Amino acid sequence: MSQDKSAISPRREEDFPEWYQQVVRAADMAENSEVRGCMVIKPWGYGLWENIQKQLDVKFKETGHVNAYFPLLIPLSYLEKEAEHAEGFATECAVVTHHRLEAQKQPDGTTKMIPTGELAEPFVIRPTSETIIGAAFARWVESYRDLPLLINQWANVMRWEMRPRLFLRTAEFLWQEGHTAHETAEEAMSETKLMHKVYADFLRDHLAIPVIPGEKTENERFPGAVSTFTVEAMVQDRKAIQAGTSHFLGQNFAKASGIQFLGRDNQRQHAWTTSWGVSTRLIGTMIMAHADDDGMIMPPRMAPTQIVILPVTPKPDTRQEVIDACEALATTLRTQTYAGEPLRVHVDKRDLQGGTKNWEWIKKGVPLRVEMGPRDITSRSVAVSRRDAGVKGKEIVGKEDFLRNVTELLHEVQSTLLARATALRDEHTKKLETMEEFVAFFTPKNADKPEAHGGFALMHWAGSNDDEDQIAKDYKVTIRCIPLGDEYAEEGTCFMTGKPSARRVVFAKSY
């Protein structure tokens, strides 16, 4: 690969959506399946999801939650109990209407499988589980002593997607969904905010992605929720991705599902509930936040393999000696820990050219690549390449120094990725005051310099739902959140209506 070429074509600045698809393909993370809108998550991509799942699950359990599992199929009548919820998901639902197939001969001699045995009541393949879990909670809760219920499930869901994109929008995707029930509104809101913070911290500290935490407007709330809190990330084309949400559901779903308890005053009352979730969309967010024109760059905390060791075997008679030395190095490395977990090390012993293997791991985004050959064994040194640095960069270091400093090196890579993503977000976050500035910010100024526009616009807002819809229609820009934090609280004038505003909101184009 020459210096003037990159592994990914097109480059980011040429066609960002296509670049993204090519990074997924080059990193061998996922592929489209035969079922439209659904994906096959390949081992490298699934290894990343396993790390997300494992590390988040620890945080859930630290905050008192336990895992359970609930049915994939939800009776249609359950969704109908909460009208706003049902309406919000109606166009995305996949519906099961029959329970049997029968083989029928066709006039041309072929056989077709025909659905028969129509169900008395259709089932919806879960788009989310508030209603089916609510039914279980109604059975489990009798007294205030049964509360709080703090439940999470890791599952798949289906939302019929017309414009699929691997990891970002697929008809079927993997996620976790937390569901809790509480005695008081204050406890439920505290839970909602707690999990909102868990997500913001996880993205920053584990995925190396800074976010703006905030509350969704009424227009953008989860269907049936009283309040929805979000963490909004900016990726490299300066669009926003809703990376996770936490919902205060009030008593809406409790009333629909009949979640009642005998209170301390000996009166029956409805519980207060929450729900919250993140999905495999986090993987797409990571790719768009960190990858470059040579492929993926993995934050060390999330990488399925943190260190890959590449044996350099120019002569067949030294091959086994080099491999043995590499395996010994890997064994020693695995005795060390980074971020509380043993180092994840792989020795690539495949009989391939060194350049081919090197580029495969570059495209996969492994944080550290280590080369060792016969001369390195003699000199007790290794060649170390950091994926966050240029792909041609390589440093020869003593093996003992490498072993002594390897965890600090991984920390530096993690910190560098977070610093880069933070600098990008801060550079493209602007306080604007007028409609003219708003339009100019979200309109390409120069076709040759697309980086000259777009990002997060911090605007004063006091418009209606209809005003919000009009902005989205005219400019394909939405209010991503009403950001939390005192730095966003200041008196001003709404750029659209001219009404007084006490706080700025975040506008952006989004995925």
Residue-wise pLDDT for 54-103, tens only, equals 999 999 999 999 999 999 999 999 988 887 887 888 899 999 999 999 99
Q: Report, in angstroms and rounded to the nearest whole number, the Rg of the chain calculated over CA atoms.
A: 26
Nearest-CA neighbor of 122 among 148, 152, 90, 153?
90
Residue type at 462 in one-letter notation: A
The total number of residues shown for the chain amounts to 511
Is the CB of residue 147 less than 8 Å from the CB of residue 271? yes
Strand partners for 124: 74, 95
Task: Please state which CATH number belongs to domain 429-508.
Answer: 3.30.110.30
CA distance 175 to 280: 6
Cα–Cα–Cα angle for 190, 192, 195, nearest 5°? 105
Fold annotation for 16-97+125-290: BirA Bifunctional Protein; domain 2 (3.30.930)
Q: What are phi and psi of 102, to 5 degrees?
A: -125, 140
Task: Please state which CATH number belongs to domain 307-425.
Answer: 3.40.50.800
Residues 4-21: what's their mean pLDDT? 92
More confident residue, 425 or 90: 425
Q: What is the pTM of this model?
A: 0.95
Strand partners for 178: 152, 276
Q: Which token pair is 405?
A: 């400093």
Q: What are phi and psi of 8, to 5 degrees?
A: -105, 130
pLDDT of residue 33: 95
pLDDT of residue 449: 53
The strand pair at 211-215 and 227-234 is best described as: antiparallel
Residue type at 301 in one-letter notation: R
Is the CB of residue 128 less than 8 Å from the CB of residue 275? yes
What torsion, rounded to 10 degrees, do the Cα atoms 263, 265, 267, 268 define?
-10
CA separation, residue 190 to residues 193, 231, 273, 308, 356 (Å): 5, 17, 11, 43, 52
CA distance 431 to 425: 13
Q: What are phi and psi of 249, to 5 degrees?
A: -95, 0
Sheet architecture: strand order including 345-347:
345-347, 307-311, 368-372, 381-386, 395-398
CA distance 225 to 84: 9
Mean pLDDT, rounded, of the chain: 95
Cα dihedral sign, 326-328-334-338: negative
Q: Which token pair is 346?
A: 């792989």
Break the chain into its structural domains and give their ranges.
16-97+125-290, 307-425, 429-508
The beta-strand segments (E) located in 76-141 are 95-105, 111-125
Kindly report, residue by residue over 254-286, the tens digit of the pLDDT.
Answer: 999 999 999 999 999 999 999 999 999 999 999
